[in-house]
Structure 1
């Protein structure tokens, strides 16, 4: 900072001015340097908050895409389970030497494929995302 930098007058409550004076003294800065440093820091934080908000939005979108992909795969999972059960049924009807182990393995695979996987619906995702979207809109006001 130099003496040619623009100047500005502001009014401060006594308590705030005293707090700034104490902070300046503690940091070994002038009152002006303390105010400039603190104001500059707030603008840096604002930029960091905006960047974090963008990252949260991107991650939320990626999470929602992942949930949609999982739901799409659940249909495939169900089809594989049905196919596996059909293989077990076929092994049961054929009298091959390894039929019993094939049946047991097929039923085990089908059971694992049919195990419930909890994935939020699109409506639930909207409800999850609504508070964050509301906070982002309020922050942009």
Structure 2
């Protein structure tokens, strides 16, 4: 799924980026999911509380979280593939290696959190909540 979506760079004022990051954290979603949701609502404004759309909204949140999960796994795979190459380089310091390993741990934790959210949303969807 993640490879089907368009990817591009965007420049944002620092204040706007910070506000989006705070909103994403407050809603328990990723920066990408928050930005996508807000852009979608600007083109197709519909109430988030519309009971007729509850399943659609849950499905969309699940898709976004699945995409975030796949992106985290892609980054993990890239780091794991890079570690042996980096370890073989004498000029690469222990600091860089430890940063990569730390980032790997962060990504694994991010995947676990996404998985928890996906399970909760799947449960809600199965119960019609």
TM-score, length basis structure 2: 0.48
Q: Which protein shows a greater Rg?
A: 1
Tell me which of the two structures has the higher relative contact order, counting C-alpha pairs closer than 8 angstroms and 6 or more residues apart.
2
